[in-house]
Every structure is written in C-alpha cells, then in structure tokens.
Amino acid sequence: MEEREQQVIDQIKDKVQEIDDVVIKEMVTDVGDATIIYFSSLIEKMTLQSMVFIPLANHVNQIFQVSEALELDDVDLILQKLDAGQTLLFFHKTAQLRVIDTYSAPTRSITNTETESTVIGPQDAFTESLETNISLVKRRIQNPMLKNETRTVGTETNIKISILYIDNIVNKENLDTLRERINQIQFPFFTDISELKQLIEDNPLSPFPQHYMSVRPDSVSQYLIDGRIVIFMDNSQAAIVCPTSFFEMFVSVEDYYNRWTTASLLRMLRFFGFFLTIMITPMYISALTFHPEVLPYELLLNLQESRSKVPFPPLIEVLFIELIIEVLREAGSRMPAKVGQTIGIVGGIVIGTAAVEAGLLSNILIVLVATSALLSFLPPIFLLSNTSRFIRYIFILSAGLFGLYGLMLAFAWLFAHLLRLNSLGTPYMSPVVPRNASDLFDSIIRFPTKYLKTKKGISRAQKK
Amino acid sequence: MSTGKSKKKLLNAYHVVFLAQSVMIGTGILSLPQQLSSLGYSQALMPLIFGVIASVTLYPMIWINSKFPNDNLFRINEILLGKWLGKCINLFFVIQFLVFIAGIISNYMHLIQSTALQEQTITGPVFCFLLLLIYIVSGGIKSIARFCIMTFFLTIGFLYFTHWAFEKGDMSHFLPLFNFFSVNDFYEALKRGYLSVLGYELVMFYFPYIVDQKKAFRHSLIGIWISILLCFITTAISVMYYSEWQLEYVEFSVLNLFKAGEFSFIERIDIFGITLWVFLILSTVAAYLWCAKKGVETLVSKKSNVYLYILVAIIFFVVKMPSSREFQDKLFTSANYVGYMLILWPVLLMMVYVLRKKKQVQV
Amino acid sequence: MSRKLLYVTLCIQLFVLAACTEKEIKVPLEDVGMVGIIAFDYIDKDSMKLTVAIPQYSPEAQRSTQTFSVTTELVSNGIVEIEKLSDKKIVFNQLRVVLFNEEFARQGNIRKVLQHLYRNAEVGNKVLIAIVKEKGEEMLKYNYPDKPNINFYLNDLLQPSINTAFNPNTNIHDFMYTISNPVFDPTIPFIDKNSDKIEIKGIAVFKGNQMIELITPNEALIIQAIQGKKNLAPLDINMEQGHGKEKLLIDLVENDVHIESNKNMHSPKLTIALTIKGTLSEYKGARENDLFTIESLADLEKDVNKELEQDIKKFLDKLNEWQVDPSGLSEYFRMYHRGKWTTEKKREIISKVAIDVQVKTSIISTGTLK
C-alpha cells in the first residue's frame, strides 16, 4: 500500500465523519481488501446488493466492467460523487479507486396533474425526478436528434439540470444564448425550477412570465418538436420552455385534442378574458366617478339606487372588495381542502350578501368582481393568472385617478411593456406582426389540424 | 464589427410602413374638417391633394438620405453645411420639435379636459402621460415602431363607429366638385390642414436604421397613403354628415361623428374614442421625442438617456407654462408652420449637395 | 436600472395621486342629479321659464321625479339658479329630451338655446327635441297615473318606431344641421297632453328660426318619404276615384324615392318618383268583394297612385306657398349650382319650382287571409 492513497482515503473518511448515514465497509475480495463508502440515504438496499455486494463477492471482474476509475488527486470531486449517490470502492492491493453509480433515491410514481388537468389527452405528468421526466419526453420523441445536456447549477448545492432540444431543428443562436445565461448564474441554491426561470428571463423585473412552464409531457414534447428548448431540473416538477410568446400563455395543449371549432372558441375566451378581467372593475370606477354619460339611463338609475347607501367613493369600494377576494383566494389555497370549501361558501355567500345588505357595497359591483375573479383563472398558465391579479391594481388605481383616460394610459403602458419584452431575444408579442404567415393558422383561431404542420416563426427553427 | 452593424439596422418593412403611418395621425385629424372648412363641402378631396404633395416631398428626403446611408439628417446637416451652421440648424430643429410636441400634448390635454375629465386640472394627466412617454422612447426606435403597429390595429376599429354618420349623411354634398373660386381659400385650407399630415418627414431621422433602405421610399409611401386614406374617409364622412356651418364651427368633428351612434350598453362612444386616442398621440409624440433626443446627442456628440429626461422636463414646462392660452396657441401654431420648413429643407440640402459635388469635380 | 426606477416611481405616483384626487371635488354618482328633461317656456322677449325633471331613486320619496322651475334670461344662469334649489349637483350628461312650448317656438330664439346645449360637451348629440302645445312645465309636473317616470315616458314616446314613422325624431344634431344648412328648414315633433296621456299631434314646421305651421302626421309622412326613409308608417288612404268613398290601409310599407331636377335656376322643375311596396291590410268600400284577382288589384294600385300623387302635390304646393323646404328639395339644385348657396336662393327656388310627382304603388300581398 502506498502512502498517498492511504492519505486520500483517510482524508475522505475524515470529511464524512460527521455524516451519520455514511457507511464505510471493509470487505475481502478475490483481488484483495476493499473499502466501500456510500451514503445509505441515497441508495436503496436492493440496488446495493445487486450492483456492489453480490458482484464483489462472486465476480470481481464484473465490478471492473461497470465501474469507472477515479483519479485520487481531486478530493472534492470524489466527495461530489459520493453526494450524488455513487458508491466508492477502494482496492487496497492495487491502490485503485473506483466508483459505481448506484443512485436510487426513492421517487414518487407518475401521477396525473392537478394544475394543468385536461379532459382529453394523456393524463401523465412530470414528477420530481429528472430521469423520469426525461424518460417521459423521450418516449414521445423517439428521434436520435433529441439531445439532452446535463449540467449542474447552484454554487452550494449542485443541482442537476438538463437542457433538451432537437439538434436539427433548434435555433443554434438561441441555444448559445441560453447556455451562456445558465453559465453566468451565480446562485447558491434552487428549490424549484421557477427560481432558475426568473434568473434566466430577459426582463426579470417584468410582471409577465417570459418563459413557458408546464408539467405536461405532451405539451413539452410538442414545443420541442417546434424547435424550442426545454430545461428540466432535478427535484422540481415543471419544465421551462423557451422562447415563447405572450400569446402562447393562452394556449392549452388540449386545444390540439379538441375539434378546431371548440378550440378556437376557448382560445378567444381565454384571450379576451384576460383583458376583461383587468378592465371590468376599473371600468366601473371610471364610469361612476368620471363618465356617467357612457352608461344607459336605466342602468345608471339602478346604480344610483344601489350605491345610495354606500359611504365610500367607488375607488375605495372596489379596492375593498378586491382585497376581500384576494384574502378569500389566499385563505382558500392555504387551508386544508375540507376547510377550504367552507371558506368559499362563507366568503362568497355570507360576506357578499351581508356586505350588500349592510350597505357597504353595491350589488352590481359584487357581480362584476365575482366575474372578474373567475375570468382571472382562465389562462392555462397559472403564473399569468397571478400576473393579471397584480396588473389589475395598476388599472384600478389609474382609473381612480383619471377615469377612462387613466385606463387607456394604463392600457398603453401594458402594450408598450409587452412590446418591449423579449423571450430569449425574440419579441414577446410576436403574433402582432406574425413572423410567418403560417403563424396565423395557430393563433386566436386554431385552424384544422392539417394546417398546423409548419414550425412557428418565433422558434426560428432551422430551415431544412 | 459585423454584429455591431447588424444591430444598427433595426427596422423592417412593416416598421417603416407603420412608423410613417402612425406618426402622421395625431391630433390633427380630429379637427381636420374644421381646418379645411374654408373650402366648404369641396374639402372632401383635399386629403388626396395632400397625399400627392406628401409623396412628392418625400422623394427629396429619401434621396438626400440615400446619399448618406448611415447618417441621420442632423449629421447630414453638419456634413453639408459645415459644423457650426449645421449645429445651429440642428438646435433650431430640436427646439421646433419640442414646441411641436408640447403643442400636440397641450392640444390633446385640453380636449381631454373639456370632454372626459371635466373640472380637473391637467397637471396630473400630463405628468403621467410624460412618464409613459419616457418609457416608450427609452426603448429605442424599434420599440416605438412596434408601438405604432399596435396602435394602428387597436384604433382602426374606430372606423366602424363612423358608420352611423355615414348612413345618416347625404352623398349629394360632394357635388359640385371643386366648388370654390378664390385661391385664398385654397391656400388657407392648405396652410391649416396640411398640419395633420405632417409626420412622414421623420423618415430622415430613422432612415439609417432601416434594413432595406432601397425600398424605404416605397414603404413610407404605403404608410403615407394609408393615413391619407383615413384622412379622406374622415373628411368625406364629415362632409356628408354636417352642414357647412357645422363644418366651420364644430371644432372636433370626428368626436361628433362618434356621437352619432350608440349601443344599448354604451351610449357615448366619443368618450371612448377620445381616451383611446391617447395611443395615437403617444405614437406620434414618441417618434418626435426620439428624434429630438437624437438631435441633442448629435449636438453634444455623446449618448445618454439623461437628455431624454431633460427634454421631457422642458416639454412639461412648456405645456404648463404660466402664460396665457393665447400666447401658447400662437407659439404652437408658429411651431407648426416651421414644421412645413422641415418638409422643404431636403430640397435645399439637395442643392448644396449637387453644388459641392460639382466643385469637387472641377477641383 | 432607469427602468427599475421608473416602475417604482410610477407605482408610487399612482398611489399618491389616487389618494390626492379624493380630495378634489369629485361628486360621487349618488349625489348627482341627472337631468332627463329640460323644458323652456316663453314669458316675454327677454325671459323664459326653465324647468328640469330629475329622476329620483330613493324608494321613500313620494314621486319618482323631482322638478324644479326658475325664471331666467340666460340658460346657464337658470341652471345655476336650479342648483340652489336642489340638494344635488345638477349635471346634463344624461339629458334626453328638450321641450319648448309653442309660443317659444313661434317667438323665441330656439337656435340660441340649442346651440348652447350643442356646444356643451356634457350633452350628447342624441337629445330629442319636441314642441309642447301649452306649457312644458305643466307637462313635467303633471302626475301621470300609469306612467311612474316622466323621464322615461317622454323619451320612449319620442323614440323612433315604425308606427310613428312620420316623426322626424329631431335631435340636437339634426336641428343644428337643418337650421344651419341653407337647403333645409327644421321640423320638430309637436306633442300635447291629452287628459292623462301625451300624444304626438303633428309636426311643427319652421321657417328659419321660427315655427310657422303645424302639419298633420299624414303630411309629415310625405316629408319622410321624400327624404328617402326606407320603411314608412302604415299608409291610411281615403280616396274617391270613381268607386265611391273608399278607405284602405297599406301596412309594412317599403319606400324608394328618386328625385331629379332640371338643374335650371330660372325655371326650376323637379320630378319626384316614389315607389311604394306594401301589404293591403284593410279595405272598406265598393270593391271589397272583388279584390282577389291580379287585375283588380292593379286597378286599385292605379287609383292609389293617383290619390297619393294628388295628396303629395297638394302638400308640396302648400309648402311652396309658405316658402319652406323641410324635405330639402332645393338640395337638388344646390348640387349643380357653382358658388355659394344661400337661404335666399332656397326661398326663391322653392317659390318658383314646378313639381311633378309620380307614384308607383305595388301591393305585394293582401295579408294572410284570403
């Protein structure tokens, strides 16, 4: 035994001393003594048996075939391997360090999604395991051109991420930009991929999500085929798709499974619903405070009557009820499911009717607020629904300030902002000026499926 | 080096078309029928004449720019007229732009004040408007161009709301064609009305950013004629709907055209019209402000966003100037007339260019 | 970086300013009295009585409408006076109807009052105008037993409907258009209180700014027909064309009109060709039992044509005698006249014009019953 090897082993042993789940075993094999080191929490007993102990006892050669040799110089690297769930084997006689990938941490099985559920179409969703997720995609795209690059991010935790793309379709410029952005990240640790997303987005300050996020393998595969780039992260369920456009936030993968007429109708509903949800209550404020002339006489008299007991100006009235709705929503999502239902009933019926009867709110406003709260859940991407919640307050305040003029200013701001956004260098609002004429076939109106073969302009796919 | 160059060329064909188009449509079109009222019913065809004039004057602009494909008018001034004279002229242009912008904003804000926001001061609205303006302009010419495209598609729907007036109007008002006799009336209408088609001259400033410079003339021309068509529709429907007295005394005839109709749930479309008009004002003013900022940058030969804030502060001051409305009006109209000078300016530059070329040949 | 700053300042601005405006006098909707009807009654050359009706929403109030009257010389002054009487802020942005009494229409200056409203940006252009026989004030203050709200009642009454197609539905824009256009004279519906009901009695014809005559609905319908209204009110025809006294009603009338002038200012001549299609819904007279064949219907059509031609001609001659032109016939001369057209030219043309009327009636069906 040489001294240096022994030193390294001692050093490793020293470093793992205070980790309780470390297992250090000495074994006698055909090729002399061996020391085995692994973390029991990351490796299942069965895997260990079949991959390490049985071969070690019976056919040591098999071990040499499946394991890889490791240089002894880099202690940090060795420790990293241990952390990743690999088993270290040190053969004393030959002073050889070998490592076998035995990572087999328990994962949950594939279940169906709750956040992006559809009626038609495959029901499986990604899980928190990187391997499972990649496998779910690879099953759908059986094409040797599908590449996945694995790298680690997080300066202190070493989380694995995987970049998936189809080599002969993806735009190389986009890919390089993305790689560079990921390389530049200096962030200690990630618990979910959405944190990574916020770091690599073009404008991290914007309230709008500039990359698509999904937990549905079918939707992700569809984007891959279109030439987008997909990022997975170990331990997080969702995948990032980029580049994407504002319009795609309103596209659900179910649109492609439905008949084209239904799909078009639903898309229109979602798209205009987004604008309605941020405009309804501000309209109420501006009509009541600044422009009563825009409303019909009869409706106005009704409004006068229902507001006659309300002590606040419309702006405060609206802010009040909007905040109550936010509270209800937040309370509902934090509570256990069974209690949550009760809260819905208490909030919706009791507070609503009681507030009207107590003369705190006008009943027309209750109708409007309830509608706009429902409308805000229409976008299939939950992040966009949250965005609309936030933006609505900007609209409410500007309407309270300058009525319809303020509303239009806010509207102009919204468009100016959306027009300035980029997603991985491509304009976020691309369908405004479609980059390809064929993009129009799959916009607010989804054309029959046979027209949807072409790639979207926004992915700037390679020409064949 | 090559990447730097490709980054400078930002504007594709759509951008050029709609920049020319949207910048032309500002507050002018709102009162166009009134500005042309000295011609009575014969004004209907006036916008078409404007279109011809605009097309003719566009040519020297593109010509002079194509001789200097990488420089805007401010630089060309300095090159052709010498550094000092050029700088003086440029300063003059920048000031003209600022007053012009202030004129548009003040005009619009007073309109807002008298229709949508009664009994309110305009300080707040102007302030918020300018904040938004900074936001749009700081995105650069491409962001302005995109905003112009958006504006066009958002506001074009308002054409539909003129159909009530069209149905109610009387086609016979068009006859007899060209029913005016004094050249003075025509000149008056030209002088006051041409203002509403100003805006295409800005092509001289964003020309260096155009990708396909050879086709810039054609694309700008398309934009100009879209606007001219809209102006024509406006004057034509106004002529059909109003009497000659109304044409003369109703200041914002377009708004009154919107007043002609109603829906069962929305009664006053003109309020929506005038507030949505803020998009058109923003697109016009943003382009002018961008040019003014470029001008300042050429003057001091340094690039910085600080100038933008300074310029906006000046505009705010001019709009809120503690002087009488009368003086402001005079200032703004004179700025408009100076605007006409800018249209003829490239002709002068053309001559200077040709003279210089000849001299060089002789030497 | 500057963008970040801009966001923050924008948000702060919005908050601060939104808070500030609350301090500005912004009257909330429930404290606003929205005038629905305004009535002007003539007192003498300088002063008038101004009455406004404001709907009342409070369920405790005995009446659903508040009315206020003041005597004033200027319109805006009168409104200030009314503000003093009212507990609410008076606004005009929901004004629906403007009433003038007959005396005002004949002697006062309607144009001045309406021009004041026309200029006011608060007031829409679709405010309807009507002339009241006696007093507008009385009409607004009267308690109509089966109509709870005079505001809606009058507005609905004056709205266009097929059975009152003779009504020109004059609104502010129409009035300003016709009075300022030298080829027109304005017409305004004329209403009167008839016990507990309000009725459209006819149409007031103006000569310039003054009302000169009241014409019947049937005559007013002719104006509408000549102006090219597509769907007309049921035509009620009494004729005597060789078959004794006959009475018939043509329903669902579609109208098409062609007018041609001889473009001659000195001996003006107009040809008016009306094409009328309709359903014969009722007939009373000698031919009652033989209207089943096409020939007999064609006969009837001919007689109707003759009768209508006579009626229209008679009516137009009357108008020409008065030198008024409510249907804008002089437009057909202005179109071909180079130079400025004036009101004097209109009067001249109208007094000289020779009118040739041709009516072509076709009865498409005789209703559902044979």
How do C32-34 and C89-91 pair as beta strands?
parallel
B181 and C CB contact within 8 Å: yes
Q: Do B128 and C121 touch (CB under 8 A)?
A: no
Q: Where is B7: in which H helix or E strand?
A: helix B2-8
What is the structure's pLDDT at C11? 59
What is the structure's pLDDT at A433? 57
What is the structure's pLDDT at A215? 92
What is the structure's pLDDT at A278? 92
What is the structure's pLDDT at C22? 45
From chain B, the residues in CB contact with A291 under 8 A are 116, 268, 271
How far is Cα A67 from Cα A69, in angstroms, rounded to an integer?
Answer: 7
Full 3-state SS string of chain C? CHHHHHHHHHHHHHHHHHHHHCCCCCCCHHHEEECCEEEEEECCCCCEEEEEEEECCCCCCCCCEEEEEEEECCHHHHHHHHHHHCCCEEECCCCCEEEEEHHHHHHCCHHHHHHHHHHCCCCCCCCEEEEECCCHHHHHHCCCCCCCCHHHHHHHHHCCCHHHCCCCCCEHHHHHHHHHCCCCCCEEEEEEEECCEEEEEEEEEEECCEEEEEECHHHHHHHHHHHCCCEECCEEEEECCCCCCEEEEEEEEEEEEEEEECCCCCCCEEEEEEEEEEEEEEEECCCHHHCCCHHHHHHHHHHHHHHHHHHHHHHHHHHHHHCCCCCCCCHHHHCCCCCCCCHHHHHHHHHHCEEEEEEEEEEEECCCCC
From chain C, the residues in CB contact with A204 under 8 A are none
**Predicted confidence (pLDDT) at residue C16 exceeds the cutoff of 60:** no
Q: What is the nearest CA distance from A376 to chain C, expressed in angstroms?
A: 22
Q: Count of CB atoms within 10 A of residue A444's CB?
A: 15
What is the structure's pLDDT at C17? 55
Q: Do B132 and A429 touch (CB under 8 A)?
A: no
Closest Cβ–Cβ partner in C6, C24, C173 for B135: C6
Average pLDDT along chain B, 363 residues, taken 10 residues at a time: 51 89 87 87 88 92 89 89 89 92 90 82 89 92 90 89 86 79 83 87 91 90 93 91 88 86 80 90 94 91 86 90 80 85 88 88 73
Q: Count of CB atoms within 10 A of residue B305's CB?
A: 13
Q: What is the nearest CA distance from A178 to chain C, expressed in angstroms?
A: 23
What's phi and psi for A70, nearest 5 deg? -130, 140
Q: Do A300 and C151 touch (CB under 8 A)?
A: no
DSSP string of A229-246, one letter each residue? EEEEETT---EEEES--T
Name subunits touching A (3+ CB pairs < 8 A): B, C
Q: What is the nearest CA distance from C153 to chain B, expressed in angstroms?
A: 18
Closest Cβ–Cβ partner in B114, B138, B260 for C2: B138
Q: Count of CB atoms within 10 A of residue C288's CB?
A: 9
Please say whether the beta carbons of A80 and A63 come within 8 A.
Answer: no
From chain C, the residues in CB contact with A297 under 8 A are 34, 36, 55, 94, 96, 151-152, 155
Q: Peptide bond before B176: cis, by omega within 30 degrees of 0?
A: yes
What's phi and psi for A408, nearest 5 deg? -70, -35
Q: Peptide bond before A243: cis, by omega within 30 degrees of 0?
A: yes
Domains by residue range for chain C, with CATH: 28-215 (no CATH), 216-369 (3.30.300.210)
Closest chain A residue by Cα to residue B129: A409
DSSP 8-state code for residue A110: P
Q: Which of A301, A312, A362 to mutate to test the interface with C (most CBs of C within 10 A)?
A: A301
Which residues are CB-contacts of A374 (< 8 A; sequence separation ≥ 6)? Answer: none
Q: Do A397 and C14 touch (CB under 8 A)?
A: yes
How do A212-214 and A239-242 pair as beta strands?
antiparallel
Give B274-296 pLDDT, tens digit per residue.
899 999 999 999 999 999 999 99
Q: Which of A298, A405, A443 to mutate to test the interface with B (most CBs of B within 10 A)?
A: A405
Q: Do B146 and A291 touch (CB under 8 A)?
A: no
**Predicted confidence (pLDDT) at residue C20 exceeds the cutoff of 60:** no
From chain A, the residues in CB contact with B153 under 8 A are 432
Q: Do A401 and B117 touch (CB under 8 A)?
A: no
Q: Do A293 and C122 touch (CB under 8 A)?
A: yes
Q: Do B150 and A429 touch (CB under 8 A)?
A: yes
From chain C, the residues in CB contact with B124 under 8 A are 17, 20-21
From chain C, the residues in CB contact with B246 under 8 A are 176-177, 180
What is the structure's pLDDT at B4? 38
Q: Do B150 and A427 touch (CB under 8 A)?
A: no
What is the structure's pLDDT at C23? 47
Domain range summary for chain A, segments of one domain joined by +:
1-101, 111-244, 263-426
Q: Count of CB atoms within 10 A of residue B217's CB?
A: 19
Please say whether the beta carbons of C129 and C172 come within 8 A.
Answer: yes
Q: Do A397 and C58 touch (CB under 8 A)?
A: no
Residue C337 CA neighbour count, 13 Å, CB half:
19
Q: Where is A400: in which H helix or E strand?
A: helix A382-420
Paired tokens of C260: 């041609």
Comparing B290 with C152, which gets the higher pLDDT? B290
Rounded to the nearest 10°, the torsion over CA A330, A332, A336, A342 is 150
Q: Do A293 and B267 touch (CB under 8 A)?
A: yes
B306 and C CB contact within 8 Å: no
For A234: left if phi > 0, alpha if psi spans -120 to 50, otherwise beta; the answer is beta
Complex ipTM, two decimals? 0.91
Q: What is the residue type of B278?
A: V
**Predicted confidence (pLDDT) at residue C149 exceeds the cutoff of 80:** yes
Closest chain C residue by Cα to residue A288: C29
Closest Cβ–Cβ partner in C3, C11, C57 for A304: C57
Q: What is the residue type of C31?
A: D
Give A347-398 pLDDT, tens digit per residue.
777 777 888 888 888 888 888 988 998 898 888 888 888 899 899 999 999 9
Q: What is the residue type of C217?
A: P
Closest CA to A146 of A154, A155, A136, A137: A137
What is the structure's pLDDT at B1? 30
Q: What is the nearest CA distance from B358 to chain A, expressed in angstroms?
A: 45
Q: Do C177 and B114 touch (CB under 8 A)?
A: no
How far is Cα A77 from Cα A59, in angstroms, rounded to an integer?
Answer: 28
Give the helix ranges, DSSP H, for A234-381: 254-257, 260-289, 297-307, 314-334, 337-345, 352-357, 363-375
Please say whether the beta carbons of C183 and C341 come within 8 A.
Answer: yes
What's phi and psi for B44, nearest 5 deg? -55, -35
Closest CA to B258 of B266, B274, B269: B269
- C-alpha A226 chain-centroid distance: 19
From chain C, the residues in CB contact with A292 under 8 A are 29, 32, 34, 91, 93-94
What is the structure's pLDDT at C1? 45
Q: Whole-model pTM?
A: 0.88
What is the structure's pLDDT at A230? 94
What is the structure's pLDDT at B225? 94
Q: What parts of chain A have a pLDDT lower than 50?
A: 1
Rg over alpha carbons for chain B, rounded to the nearest Å, is 21
Q: Do C57 and A305 touch (CB under 8 A)?
A: yes
B150 and A CB contact within 8 Å: yes
Among B58-67, C17-26, C83-92, the range of highest mean pLDDT = B58-67
Interface A-B: count of C-beta contacts within 8 A: 89
Q: What is the nearest CA distance from C95 to chain A, expressed in angstroms?
A: 9
Closest chain A residue by Cα to residue B275: A405
Give C229-252 pLDDT, tens digit per residue.
888 888 888 887 777 788 888 887
What is the structure's pLDDT at B279? 93
From chain A, the residues in CB contact with C34 under 8 A are 292, 297, 300
